[in-house]
Structure 1
Amino acid sequence: MTENLELVAMFKALADSSRLKIVGLLAQQPYSVEQLAALLNLKPSTVSHHLARLSEVGLVSARAESYCTIYSLDKTALEETTRRIFSREEMSEGAADIDLDVGDRNVLADFTRPDGNLKTIPAHWRSSCGASSKPSSREPANGDGEFYSSSQIH
């Protein structure tokens, strides 16, 4: 579950177009806040905020260089996260708590009474279940050899 929360945090960090642009620029080379701000036409404080969010999830690292801080993309962390996100196990774990039978139960609830008896035959089943206005040439619909008409079924 903790890994799932980490992935959610990663997606949230990347769910901003400015942060995606920053990641793209840092993938090419390291930059300072001022350089990124000039390239993206953003205020340095805004770029710092975005870098902090990217740093929180481990995508960006910083190093002091003379009077400014240089940011670079941690490509290894990005590759590991990408590999983990798209692994079969991780994708399956993300859907582990989903009830796959809920649709079937809802359909049954719509067409059955509380005692379990059928309320009505679903319209798309009528023709395939022998419940049509034309009798089937193979079997009668009731035990007397008679067929039910469409009005008797509806």
Structure 2
Amino acid sequence: MDQVLFEQLLVFFKTLADENRLKLIGMLAEREYSVEELATRLKVREPTVSHHLARLKELGLVKMRREGNNHYYQLEASSLHRLSKDVLSLEKIAAPEPEQATDLWEQKILKDYLQEGKLTKIPSTRKKREVILRWLVEQLAWEKRYPEKEINAFLLQYHWDSATLRREFIMTGLMQRDQGLYWRI
């Protein structure tokens, strides 16, 4: 999620994180109200209602109409729809920043499972295990074919269960095996 979208979401949710503002939106969705009517229904003072309405107006969620000395407010439904479409779309909220989110997550996994260059345990979840396996296989040369004994010696530097790690390399498609030789793919 980019910083601009994050700031928009922050302002949006901070503004709506007030019980009275949410009630105001609900009431204004029904019909148009004056500040006096809203204050009476909410059982708060008019300046408090005016403050809340000003905050909602900043977001474009309410619009005001003057009639003499009275101000009448109603919900700006099109703005609410636009905000929900533009700011709250799942694609925008869930979209990680390219590579950075993945890199940070993978770094956390490596930090959690590696201690002094040794694997503390083999992760039980597939995604975490694949991060560890990719990191391990990256320590090996590309075009070299390793005998099983050499792969075992390499893996024992990181964890006692070399057989499981060796099998996982094959099962995840990170390495191939033929006639006792292993190589990266």
TM-score (norm 2): 0.57
Give, as a single letter, the amino acid of the residue that structure 2 aligns with 1:13: T
Gaps of 5+ in 2: 125-151, 154-159, 161-185
Q: How far apart in 2 are the matches of 1:121 and 1:55?
A: 54
Give, as a single letter, the amino acid of the residue that structure 2 aligns with 1:100: W
Aligned to 2:141: none
Aligned to 2:108: 103
* Superposition pairs of residues 40-55 of structure 1, within 5 angstroms: 40-55=42-57
**Structure 2 CA distance for partners of 1:44 and 1:90, relative to 1, 3 Å:** same
Shift of 1:61: 1.1
Q: How far apart in 2 are the matches of 1:7 and 1:40?
A: 26
Give the conservation status (yes or no) of the 8 Å contact 2:5–2:87: no
Structure holding more helix per residue: 2
Q: How far apart in 2 are the matches of 1:106 and 1:75?
A: 47
2:28 is equivalent to residue 26 of structure 1: yes
Give, as a single letter, the amino acid of the residue that structure 2 aligns with 1:39: R
TM-score (norm 1): 0.67
2:24 is equivalent to residue 6 of structure 1: no
Q: How far apart in 1 are the matches of 2:123 and 2:61?
A: 52
Gaps of 5+ in 1: 126-141, 149-154
Q: How far apart in 2 are the matches of 1:20 and 1:75?
A: 14
* Superposition pairs of residues 1-154 of structure 1, within 5 angstroms: 1-93=3-95, 95-96=96-97, 98=101, 99-109=104-114, 112-113=115-116, 116=117, 118=118, 121-122=120-121
RMSD (Å) for aligned C-alpha atoms: 2.6
Q: How far apart in 1 are the matches of 2:110 and 2:121?
A: 14
Q: How far apart in 2 are the matches of 1:31 and 1:18?
A: 15
Residue aligned with 2:74, SS: strand
Shift of 1:66: 1.9
Structure holding more strand per residue: 2
Give, as a single letter, the amino acid of the residue that structure 1 aligns with 2:121: P
Aligned to 1:135: none
Aligned to 2:176: none
Aligned to 1:138: none
